[in-house]
Amino acid sequence: MTLPDPQPGRPTPPRKENTWVMVGRYSQLALVLPSATFVGWLLGHLLDRWLHTSWISIIGLLLGSAAGLIEVIRTVQRDTK
């Protein structure tokens, strides 16, 4: 059973996050962009070797960088709300 809100028109204050949760979330950003770029390049390189081409690794590098950057932007937007 919950008690009724004594001031129903008053907005609820924003919830404060734990400091260590925020430290973990932002330290994750330091690893997301380089690791996504590396994984994109690695998959492109493996496809290059398998298909005997030389341009797929560049596409993988660009796609990995874009994926990492999108994840960084999403994380920052989520935390600034």
Give 21-79 pLDDT, tens digit per residue: 888 888 888 899 999 999 999 999 999 999 999 999 999 999 999 999 999 899 888 87
Angle between helix axes 56-79 and 19-51 (nearest 10 degrees) is 170
pLDDT for res 60: 96
For residue 14, is it within any domain?
no
Burial (0-12, 13-18, 19+ Cβ within 10 Å), 15 = exposed
Q: How far is CA 61 from CA 16, 30, 49, 72, 75, in A?
A: 38, 18, 15, 17, 21
Tell me how many domains the chain contains. Answer: 1
Read off the pLDDT band of 7 (50, 70, 90): low
For residue 50, is it within any domain?
yes
- Asked if residues 23 and 3 have their Cβ atoms less than 8 Å apart, the reply is no
Whole domain around residue 67: which residue ranges? 27-79
Is pTM, for the whole model, over 0.75? Answer: no
For residue 12, is it within any domain?
no
Residue 9 has pLDDT above 90, yes or no: no
